[in-house]
Amino acid sequence: MIKTLNPLQATLTCPKCGHGQQSTIPTDACMPFYVCRNCKAMIKAKDGDCCMFCSYGDRPCPLKSS
């Protein structure tokens, strides 16, 4: 069986502790920060990136892709 990836799912990797967490990419707004479930650090998007997925995700957000 071939497993297909959900285009609205991505893995965010915390730059502080390296923990990866699955998250749903919003299609109508940018996500400028998130709290790591492992180390509890509040992580902000890098300067010049629109959101967390563009900075720390394994795929860019749909807003940047369009």
**Mean pLDDT of each 10-residue bin along the chain, 66 residues long:** 67 97 87 94 93 91 68
Check residue 8 and give its pLDDT: 86
Q: Tell me, yes or no, whether 1 lies in a domain.
A: no
pTM for the model: 0.79
Q: Tell me, yes or no, whether 2 lies in a domain.
A: no
Domain total of the chain: 1
Q: Tell me, yes or no, whether 4 lies in a domain.
A: no
Check residue 66 and give its pLDDT: 57
Distance between CA atoms of residues 43 and 15, nearest Å:
8
Q: Tell me, yes or no, whether 20 lies in a domain.
A: yes
Q: Which residue has the tokens 């799912």?
A: 9
List of residues 6+ apart from 45 with CB closer than 8 A? 30, 31, 32, 33, 51, 52, 54, 55
What is the extent of the structural domain holding 31? 9-65
Check residue 29 and give its pLDDT: 80
Check residue 1 and give its pLDDT: 54
Distance between CA atoms of residues 56 and 42, nearest Å:
13
Q: Tell me, yes or no, whether 3 lies in a domain.
A: no
Check residue 5 and give its pLDDT: 56
